[in-house]
Amino acid sequence: MTELLAGRSALVVGVANKRSISWAIADALRQHGARVALTYQGERVERDVRKLAETLGDDTPVLPLDVTDGDQIAAATSEAAETLGGLDILVHGVAFAPAEDLAGRFADTSRDGWSTALDISAYSLVELARHAEPLMNEGGNGSIMTLSYLGGVRATPGYNVMGPAKAALESSVRYLAWDLGEAAIRVNAISAGPVRTLAARGISGFSTMADSIAERAPLRRGIEATDVAGAAVFLASDLSRGVTGTTLYVDAGYHAMGL
């Protein structure tokens, strides 16, 4: 396999288990030659993340990170760069909303649920990028990417408060692209079609939605995590050196359809 990312170092945030999109991205980055550090949020997922890290190599750092804690964000980015010998790639794959705010009507979203969803799902990218910027400046190049969904630009019943959270995330990508562009750091989002992750189970009617989209997408199929990972390798590599501030759709073309 061509090592598009040989000599690059990546911090991947958001791996929870082997079905995570972030895990598929981490695995693909490693296959293309990047050194990778992973993070975990809480003891409940630490063991699974460490087992996955072992498959990437014995030298894969595994760091604790709660993205609501600014000190942990600073520590994780700094330690990843120190352990890996630099930081060239940052993958933000974190999103969360309270279960009760993903059920029922969007109009009934609680104030706390709104704040939680936007803090974890959108603001965390801003804070991670702020801490990654000086570390990436040392190499003179960098790529930051995050994961979004079509529900950020279209009303998607059942997606509820995560829709505005993804809208804020995609807007943040554009503003960060401007701020960090002077330092040759690119910032992009991947808007993936429905991927059957464990987290997706928390979205009401997810299976029906995924089946419907697979039927109506131009490619007449659904999306796998490996499809998203391929796009991530592109955005991390010099092949996308002129791409920033962009939301790249990896959804078998569904976003282009009117029905």
Residues assigned a catalytic role? 149, 159
**How far is residue 174's CA from residue 187's CA, in Å, rounded to a whole number?**
7
In the chain the first and final C-alpha atoms are separated, in Å, by: 39
Residue 146: phi, psi to the nearest 5? -135, 170
SS3 156: coil
Comparing CA positions, the residue from 123, 191, 126, 125 lying closest to residue 159 is: 191
Partnered with residue 90 across adjacent β-strands are 11, 144
**How far is residue 169's CA from residue 128's CA, in Å, rounded to a whole number?**
13
Q: Tell me the CA distances in angstroms from 215 to 153, 231, 245, one per residue in order.
A: 21, 22, 30
The amino acid sitting at 229 is A
**How far is residue 166's CA from residue 150's CA, in Å, rounded to a whole number?**
8
